[in-house]
Every structure is written in C-alpha cells, then in structure tokens.
Amino acid sequence: MTNMKKECIAMLLAGGQGSRLMVLTENMAKPAVPFGGKYRIIDFPLSNCVNSGIDTVGILTQYQPLELNEYVGNGQPWDLNRNLGGVHILPPYLKSRDSQWYKGTANAIYQNIHFIERYNPEHVLILSGDHIYKMDYRKMLHFHKSNDADCTIAVIQVPLEEASRFGIMNTRDDHSIYQFEEKPLHPKSNKASMGVYIFKWPCLKEYLIADYNNPQSDNDFGKNIIPTMLEDGHKLFAYSFEGYWKDVGTINSLWEANMDMLSDPPKLNLRDSQFRIYSRNYAMPSSFISETAATDNCFIAEGCEVKGIVVNSILSTGCTVEENAVVENSVIMPNTVIGRNAIIKYAIIGEECHIFPNAKVGDDPKFYEASEWGISVVGKGKTIQQNALIEPGKII
C-alpha cells in the first residue's frame, strides 16, 4: 500500500440533529442548513480545512444524512477530491463484532479508528458542523506542537456574563488548562471552548478505547474525554482564537450570524480573496434587479429576480421577490418565492417556500413586549397562503 501518512487529518462531527433549529433541521442535518446567501454551515469548517492545508477530512454523519451526503459529494467544490485523502462521509456501519449508532461525539470517532489509522496521523483535528467562523488551523497546530501538548482546545473570549452558557477553560499563565467546566454557574474565566480540538493521535486513541470500555461514560469529548485526560495529568492547552466565531445552534443565533454580515463594519466578513469560503454552486444566471426594486444593505446571491423591497436582509440563490413585497431584517433561504405585497420582517424563510401575495410573516420587535416577540420561521418547502398572518416568534 502507498504510504498515506498525513501529519494532521480532520474529523468533522456532523451527525447531530440540531433540534433547537426546529423546522429548519426537520429533514436535514444541521451542517446542511443554508447560511449567508449561498453557503451551508458545513462550508465553513470544510473551507477552513482546505485553507489550512488539511486535505483529509472524515465527516461523521448519522441524523438525516441524505441532503448532506449529496451536498458534499466527492468534495470537489472544496478541492477535497484528492487521490490520497480528500473528503470521506463516515456513517455508522455494521462491524463484525458489534454494531451500533454513534452514541456520542467520542464514540463516533472511536468507531472510525480504522479510518484514522489508514492515514497514520500524528495529530487529529476534531471539528463540529455548527459554527460559523474563519480559522487557520495551521496556527493552532503550530501552537499545539510547540507546546508538545497532548490536546489543544481552541477558545474564544466571551463576555463573562455569558460564560455560563459555554464550556469554560480555566488556564494558567502559559495557557495550559488546569480545569474544564461545562456551563459553570460562576465562571472563573471567559475562555469558551469553540468545539475545535487537536489531539496527539496515539493519546486520543488510548482514551477513546478506554472510554468505549467504560459503561458509565456518555462517550462525549466535553464531558468525558477531556476531563479524564486532565485528571490523568496530560498536557492540555487553550489556544486563543481571535476573530469571528458563532455557534448557530439556535434560531436566534442563526439569524444573528446572518445579520452579522450586514453590520457596519461587518462583524463577519466573507469577502476575502485570501481566505475564501467555498460552496457547491448551482448553475444560476446573474440576478435581475428591476426598476421597481429597492435594495438597501443586503446581500443578494445569484439567480434572484427582485422586483420588491429588500432591506437589511440576506436573499439566497434563486429567490424571487415580486412587486411591492417587503423583506426586512430577514434571511430568505434558496429558491423561495415571496409574492406581491407580502411582508417579511425579522424572519427566516426556509428553502423552496412559497409565500403567497399579501401574506405577512413576522414583525418588528418595537411593537411588542420582549416576551411576546421572536424571530418567525417558515420551514423548508412550506406554503404560506394568501393574506395569511404568521406572528412574530411563530415557527411553521
């Protein structure tokens, strides 16, 4: 066999259901959810890998994988159709001794030890498919190697008052971790785990096997593997990432991350020819903006026909906005039609929806008590009848 040794390969955890995204993940895994007009969430970790020189990525799928499998395909859009390495979809499969679904994040990697061994890597990068960020993993790998760490965890500084929502790393001055606290009530630091880990492979392998043999374990990286490694006195380091990072696991955070492309200056800037985010492109013509249209502070992807008003919004590939329709502070996912005079405010409209004329979805928070307002969501392929009213916070 050819020597396929790779210094570092990536394993992308893409099997989660993403139930907090409600209807948006009804029929697809969270990493396949559209983002930013022409992307899907998984484009971010995949593009990060390629832009970091990592050419071997295993994608662990389990929940509703069809859409994701089709999207990833042979990996060509990300330049991951390689002879040695490239992208591999890794669903759970029947093994001779025992077979099971992926029970947790660590178990998913455990079940693919053979895949990883084929590349005989020194380090393994563990990623998840629900974060929007641009990151050069090479810098983190360099940090990991120069500390001779057994495990390096990427962290981002979050406001201390929000720290109790995250897994928090308590570190010494040299960035070594002495304690990991999952969602602490009284956080001692504001270094939140980004769900990006680099392990020395021999060390990780040992812990994965031990974890598998421990019936009490939840087989989870955050709950089991990392705390056990700490207890055993291994060298764990926190790598501070500076830049944009957002967990888009909820409706609100998904909406906010899209809106972060529109702030001035943009919090999330995807216009960077040195660090492109790649995606699978569909053959759509250029977008047409008619003389009746108004387009202010918005991103409009290709294949759209815009005859109405689009303000502070993201209009994805292949959408139509008919005359006098208004789209404000909203995210419209691909191939959706917004009919005449329809009003969409503070909403996420899924792919391939049809909003008929005069319908109204969502509204401005200023007219509501905070407790009565929320982002309105219309799931993939839904039809909203003429004159229908979808109230703020309603999820269809």
Task: Give the residues lining the site for other proteins (CB under 8 A).
Answer: 36-38, 76-77, 270-271, 276-279, 281-291, 293, 295-302, 310, 314-316
State the minimum distance, in angstroms, from the CB of residue 117 to other proteins.
31
In this complex, which beta carbon is closest to other proteins, that of residue 202 or of residue 243?
243
In this complex, which beta carbon is closest to other proteins, that of residue 231 or of residue 291?
291
Q: What angle do CA 325, 331, 332 make, to 5 degrees?
A: 60
State the minimum distance, in angstroms, from the CB of residue 314 to other proteins.
8
CA distances from 223 to 4, 12, 62, 202 (A): 33, 18, 20, 20
217: left (phi over 0), alpha (psi -120 to 50) or beta: beta
56-60/86-90 β-pairing = parallel
Q: Using an 8 Å Cβ cutoff, are 312 and 296 in contact?
A: yes
In this complex, which beta carbon is closest to other proteins, that of residue 158 or of residue 348?
348
Q: Using an 8 Å Cβ cutoff, are 376 and 393 in contact?
A: yes
User: What kind and span of H or E run contains 196?
Assistant: strand 191-200
Structure tokens at 376: 């309105």
In this complex, which beta carbon is closest to other proteins, that of residue 208 or of residue 270?
270
Q: Which residue has the tokens 């003389």?
A: 291
Structure tokens at 321: 């906005």
State the minimum distance, in angstroms, from the CB of residue 104 to other proteins.
34
Neighbouring residues of 161: CB distance < 8 A, sequence distance ≥ 6: none
Structure tokens at 234: 């291994």
State the minimum distance, in angstroms, from the CB of residue 282 to other proteins.
8
Instruction: Report the alpha-carbon distance of residue 362 to residue 381 in Å, rounded.
Output: 18
Q: Using an 8 Å Cβ cutoff, are 306 and 295 in contact?
A: yes
Nearest to 35 by CA among 195, 336, 194, 248: 248
In this complex, which beta carbon is closest to other proteins, that of residue 223 or of residue 276?
276
Instruction: Report the alpha-carbon distance of residue 254 to residue 260 in Å, rounded.
Output: 10
State the minimum distance, in angstroms, from the CB of residue 380 to other proteins.
18
In this complex, which beta carbon is closest to other proteins, that of residue 316 or of residue 376?
316
In this complex, which beta carbon is closest to other proteins, that of residue 22 or of residue 289?
289
State the minimum distance, in angstroms, from the CB of residue 225 to other proteins.
35
DSSP β-bridge partners for residue 214: none
In this complex, which beta carbon is closest to other proteins, that of residue 147 or of residue 287?
287
State the minimum distance, in angstroms, from the CB of residue 6 to other proteins.
24
Q: Using an 8 Å Cβ cutoff, are 152 and 198 in contact?
A: yes
State the minimum distance, in angstroms, from the CB of residue 145 to other proteins.
30
